[in-house]
Amino acid sequence: MSQIEIKKIIKAINASDGAGVKLKRSIGTPEADYIDPFLMLDEFGSENKDDYIAGFPPHPHRGIETVTYMLNGEFEHQDSTGAKGIMAPGDVQWMKTGRGIIHSEMPAMSGGKLLGFQLWINMPAKLKKNKPEYIYIKSKELGVHSDKEKTVKVIAGSYADVEGPEKKHNVEPIYFHVILKEKKEFKYEVPSGHNSFIYILKGDLKIGNKNHEKASDSNLILLERGSKLQIKANKKTEFLFIAGKPIGEPIARGGPFVMNTKAEILEAIQDYNNGTFAKY
Ligand code: MN
């Protein structure tokens, strides 16, 4: 079993998307353009409602999956498959856009704190033209492992005695939200072909055996491939651990569309302009 060490620590950069929502982006940036199969990771969070209240009015997607995990506040969503609802803290929305979806994501509260994450997972060519699929996961449906040292909320993959609600997925994703007490350890066996990373919400960690620089809040810690992950909390620490099997296909990006070639991006734009985009 090979010990997993840190490959690179990346500080999330300030960005703005939708109708001017301020966010911190860590994947989908010059430093971490694509961590196959992960295309983007955004943290949207603020105590100032002007930073997010304009939300993400209707916009299209094709060729990707978006996984939204809310920790604070509420988000109202609506899409062209007819799915509609309000996300509450702890809830997850797993959307497989396939050939096309048009949706809106709007903060449903008038004030207060908002904190959430959106991860984009690439889809392989053979699934990019599928009919869209929308999965809503309530917080109580997550797998939760709790012991004296830690709490692990499982959105995908399995940890100890619990399993996440998202199963039988082509990239075999692992998505944990871990809360680790001071001086305690989190150990996990990662499939050796997976790419993986940690995103720090708050705290201070030691990963693997080698010394490394201190990673702080909103840092993405890209991990080497390997199987033995060992994390120690220098103080109480909260983080996301995310891993997936690489797809290994060329990608072409065009904003909300991610396909394999530039021609397919142009096709997506044409379908959207022609009004045939979200016809299934
Ligand atoms: Mn969207």
Question: 222-279: per-residue pLDDT in tens?
Answer: 999 999 999 999 999 999 999 999 999 999 999 999 999 999 999 999 999 998 888 7
Query: What's the CA gap between 216 and 122, in Å, rounded?
Result: 27
Question: Distance, CA 214 to ligand 1 centroid (Å)?
Answer: 33
Question: Distance, CA 21 to ligand 1 centroid (Å)?
Answer: 12
Assess whether pLDDT exceeds 80 at residue 109.
no
Per residue in 128-178, pLDDT (tens digit) is: 999 999 999 999 999 999 999 999 999 999 999 999 999 889 999 999 999
Domains of the chain: 6-273 (2.60.120.10)
Question: Distance, CA 17 to ligand 1 centroid (Å)?
Answer: 10
pTM: 0.96
Assess whether pLDDT exceeds 90 at residue 111.
no
Q: For 125-158, b where at least 16 C-beta lie within 10 A, e where not — what string?
A: eebbeeebebeebebeebbebeeeebebbbbbbe
pLDDT at 278: 83
Per residue in 72-105, pLDDT (tens digit) is: 999 999 999 999 989 999 999 999 999 999 999 9
Question: Distance, CA 120 to ligand 1 centroid (Å)?
Answer: 10
Question: Distance, CA 68 to ligand 1 centroid (Å)?
Answer: 10
